[in-house]
Amino acid sequence: MKVLITDGVDPQCAQILKQNGFEVTEIPKISKEELKEIIGNFDKLIVRSATKVTAEIIELGKKLKLIGRAGAGVDNIDIEAATRNGIIVMNTPGGNTISAAEHTCGMMLAAARQIPQATAELKNGKWDKKKFMGVELDGKTLSIIGLGKIGREVAFRMQAFGMKTIAYDPMIPDEYAAHLNIALLPLHENFKQADFITIHSSLNESTRNLIANDTFALMKQGVIIVNCARGGIINEADLAEAIASGKVGAAALDVFETEPVQQDNPLLKLERVVATPHIAASTNEAQVKVAVQIAEQIVEWKQKGKLEGAVNASAVELAQTPGVRSYLALAEKLGATLAQLTAIQANKIVVTTSGEFLQKFSEVITAAALKGFLDIRQTKDTNYINVFTMAKETGITLEQKFEKENPDYTNLIRIELENGATKRMIGGTVFGDKELRIVMIDRFIVEFKPEGTIIIYNNIDQPGVIAQVTQLLLLHNLNVASIALSRDEEKKLAITAIVVDGGVTTTLLDEISTVNGVSDSTLLSL
Ligand SMILES: NC(=O)C1=CN([C@@H]2O[C@H](COP(=O)(O)OP(=O)(O)OC[C@H]3O[C@@H](n4cnc5c(N)ncnc54)[C@H](O)[C@@H]3O)[C@@H](O)[C@H]2O)C=CC1
Ligand SMILES: O=C(O)C(=O)COP(=O)(O)O
């Protein structure tokens, strides 16, 4: 319940959290050193873009469960490290969209007409009309790189200025763009056709240095470039050269590779550059919206387990769907059973879900199965967020499969563990709403509840085995709750699962192993 808020998030955030029982500490300007020192005391951290939530900070935040971003971009948060540590990262999509879009449009006009430069000169006592010849936007082609929430709002506004809008975004379907009067074109076509280019993608591996010498070469002479998305998408050294050579007519920048921007940054020395200190989201409206949004999302999470705005927790979100909980419990039990049934190391785990209902839950069911397995096999804390990274770190290759139907069960989950030629398999289903059942182990169809203490062994299918085993249980004063037996098709080998009330000693297990025909006796604790 302890929240640290940095970076000057609007006070309404703290107010809502306090009203809902959170203990809030606000440090608007925090140094890296101070953050390292105190992060261990908090289970939630809320930031804007200034605080760098690095892997080092995350490792030191031993109690951290959630990192909230009062804004859109999460590139200042090491999401991989957060995911590995089971920490939810949440942003506030849409909260600052309009402000960022409006600032972008303003920057485009400012660059086209050199408004800030003209203002500065006029305030310096000069009246030079010739120096500030601009260009019109009307009839010009605007390329929007990244047609997400802000990109679309910019398109809509600049269309009102008479601009033709084209765009590039690998995630947006053509029909959707067409419906907005935007032509989706390949990236190089955008660069070739544009008179103005505005960047609105996130900073990721595909967009880092997207605008650099090789792409400037494709552009029209005198193109005007606006970046209110993220520094790093444009290579600043290359941009400075392109402006100096006249290839780029002007640039309007709100974001920089290093922030706060260094005063010796060559871009700041260029007459044709309009620059603002990362203020596209700095309006009263946007700041209240993102502050309230992040606080409400955290309260909803605490009170109802809802995960609005989480960027790394699709599995956790799906787990909230009614009806799926029993299958998640089953998948965890199956994983835990498999981990105890065999001591072999898992090189590969294949999780197969069958039945239409389970189709969209394959991923979260796989997460649950892995959690059940890894909780037995290793000591680190696992959850549905970090379990995939943990499996990878443990050297497990993972495969997820889906079958529309199974001839015997409406819904079925099977987990196979592979190590070279050795394979073990376990399968289970849910009867009614919440009756969990293991229904198959390797090639045997055997049905029992995955609950409590269970002795499992293989035996040669011959008379007297079960009588001798139950005699041993009697000698150890153990009551049998249920017995499930099954044999293979050749009627040679059988499997027996005995659910007992009470603890089983290793002596008893050893004694069962000595019964003629019994092999692989194992104790399951579920
Ligand atoms: N300067 C500021 O104060 C602000 C900056 N931003 C930044 O603006 C950007 C856009 O924000 P939103 O529209 O809210 O995000 P969004 O997530 O709605 O849109 C981002 C779009 O970029 C696209 N994209 C991803 N990789 C791409 C690639 N390689 N090429 C082209 N498009 C690609 C995505 O498919 C998505 O449609 C983000 O980088 C965000 O951090 C957002 C708010 C304020
Ligand atoms: O939301 C974003 O992505 C922004 O860049 C806004 O940054 P800020 O919260 O103003 O530091």
261 pLDDT above the threshold of 70: yes
Residue 245, Cβ neighbours under 10 Å: how many?
10
186 lines ligand 1 (CB under 6 A): no
CA distance 471 to 456: 16
Q: What is the pTM of this model?
A: 0.75
Q: What is the 3-state secondary structure (H, E, C) of 37-79?
A: HHHHHCCEEEECCCCCECHHHHHHCCCCCEEEECCCCCCCECH
Summarize pLDDT for 322-345 with one digit per residue, the tens.
788 899 999 999 999 999 999 888
Please tell me which residue in 84, 103, 230, 414 is annotated as part of the active site.
230
The identity of residue 342, as a single letter, is T
Residue finishing a domain among 375, 410, 442: 442
Residue finishing a domain among 442, 468, 487: 442
Q: What is the edge-to-edge ordering of all strands in the sheet holding 479-487? A: 479-487, 493-501, 453-460, 518-525
Assess whether 118 and 265 both reside in one domain. yes
Q: Which atom of ligand 2 is nearest to the CA of 7?
A: 11
333 SS3 class: helix
Mean pLDDT of 440-458: 95
Q: Which of 385, 478, 72, 526 is nearest to 255 (CA)?
A: 72
Confirm whether 363 is a catalytic residue: no
The per-residue pLDDT for 172 is 87
Dihedral of alpha carbons 400, 402, 408, 411, sign: positive
Residue 125, Cβ neighbours under 10 Å: how many?
6
Query: Residue 32 sits in a domain of what CATH number?
Result: 3.40.50.720
The per-residue pLDDT for 278 is 98
CA distance 30 to 33: 8
Within a domain: 447 = no
The per-residue pLDDT for 389 is 78
Mean per-residue pLDDT over the chain, rounded: 94
Q: Which of 84, 77, 15 is nearest to 51 (CA)?
A: 77
314 pLDDT above the threshold of 80: no
Q: Which two tokens stand for residue 459?
A: 């035996």
Summarize pLDDT for 154-167 with one digit per residue, the tens.
999 999 999 999 99
Within a domain: 500 = yes
Half-sphere exposure for 439 (CA within 13 Å, toward CB): 18
CA distance 473 to 176: 68
Summarize pLDDT for 99-123 with one digit per residue, the tens.
999 999 999 999 999 999 999 999 9
207 lines ligand 1 (CB under 6 A): yes
The per-residue pLDDT for 348 is 95
Within a domain: 337 = yes
Confirm whether 416 is a catalytic residue: no
The answer to whether residues 228 and 107 touch, using CB atoms and an 8 Å cutoff, is yes
Assess whether 317 and 298 both reside in one domain. no
* CB-neighbour burial class of residue 54 (10 A; exposed 0-12, middle 13-18, buried 19+): middle
Residue finishing a domain among 219, 252, 275: 275
CA distance 412 to 359: 11
106 lines ligand 1 (CB under 6 A): no
Question: CA 279, 285, 290 angle in degrees (round to 5)?
Answer: 80
Q: Which two tokens stand for residue 183?
A: 């032509």
The per-residue pLDDT for 489 is 81
DSSP codes joined into one string, 90-143: E--TTTTHHHHHHHHHHHHHHHHHTHHHHHHHHHTT---TGGG-----TT-EEE
The per-residue pLDDT for 3 is 98
CA distance 189 to 205: 21
Q: Which atom of ligand 2 is nearest to the CA of 278?
A: 10
The per-residue pLDDT for 476 is 93
The per-residue pLDDT for 316 is 67
Q: Which of 232, 242, 147 is nearest to 198 (CA)?
A: 147
Assess whether 457 and 322 both reside in one domain. no
Query: Residue 386 sits in a domain of what CATH number?
Result: 3.30.1330.90
The identity of residue 229, as a single letter, is A
The best mutation among 92, 278, 294 to test binding of ligand 2, ranked by most ligand atoms within 8 Å of the C-beta, falls on 278
Assess whether 308 and 319 both reside in one domain. no
Within a domain: 359 = yes
* Nearest listed ligand to the Cα of residue 100: 1
Q: What is the edge-to-edge ordering of all strands in the sheet holding 23-27? A: 23-27, 2-6, 44-47, 66-69, 88-90
Ligand 2 pocket, residues with Cβ under 6 angstroms:
48-49, 71-73, 96, 278, 281-282
317 pLDDT above the threshold of 70: no
392 SS3 class: helix
Assess whether 420 and 349 both reside in one domain. yes
DSSP codes joined into one string, 218-269: TSPTTEEEEE-S-TTSB-HHHHHHHHHHTSEEEEEES--SSSSPPTT-GGGG
Alpha carbon of residue 453 to chain centroid: 37
The per-residue pLDDT for 139 is 98
Q: Which atom of ligand 2 is nearest to the CA of 279?
A: 10
Residue 94, Cβ neighbours under 10 Å: how many?
14
Assess whether 189 and 159 both reside in one domain. yes
Within a domain: 163 = yes
Assess whether 85 and 118 both reside in one domain. no
Q: Which atom of ligand 1 is nearest to the CA of 71?
A: 43
Assess whether 291 and 329 both reside in one domain. no
φ, ψ for residue 226, nearest 5 deg: -120, 130
The packing angle between helices 465-475 and 506-513, to 10°, is 160
- Residue-range definition of the domain harbouring residue 114: 97-275
Q: Which two tokens stand for residue 408?
A: 């015997």
505 lines ligand 1 (CB under 6 A): no
Summarize pLDDT for 185-240 with one digit per residue, the tens.
999 999 999 999 999 999 988 899 999 999 999 999 999 999 999 999 999 999 99
* Nearest listed ligand to the Cα of residue 168: 1
Summarize pLDDT for 47-96 with one digit per residue, the tens.
999 999 999 999 999 999 999 999 999 999 998 788 778 899 999 999 99
Please, which pLDDT band fits residue 170 given cuts at 50, 70 and 90? confident
Summarize pLDDT for 344-373 with one digit per residue, the tens.
889 999 999 999 999 888 988 999 999 999
Please, which pLDDT band fits residue 320 given cuts at 50, 70 and 90? low
* Number of structural domains in the chain: 4
Within a domain: 334 = yes
Q: Which of 358, 365, 457, 460 is nearest to 409 (CA)?
A: 358
321 pLDDT above the threshold of 80: no
Helix (H) or strand (E) holding 383: none
Assess whether 191 and 148 both reside in one domain. yes
* Percentage of the residues of the chain whose pLDDT score is greater than 90: 82
Assess whether 137 and 14 both reside in one domain. no
Q: Which of 298, 300, 241 is nearest to 273 (CA)?
A: 241
Within a domain: 438 = yes
467 pLDDT above the threshold of 80: yes
Mean pLDDT of 428-440: 95
* Nearest listed ligand to the Cα of residue 46: 2
Assess whether 338 and 407 both reside in one domain. yes
Within a domain: 280 = no
* Distance (Å) from CA 69 to ligand 1 centroid: 15
Mean pLDDT of 262-270: 96
Assess whether 15 and 53 both reside in one domain. yes
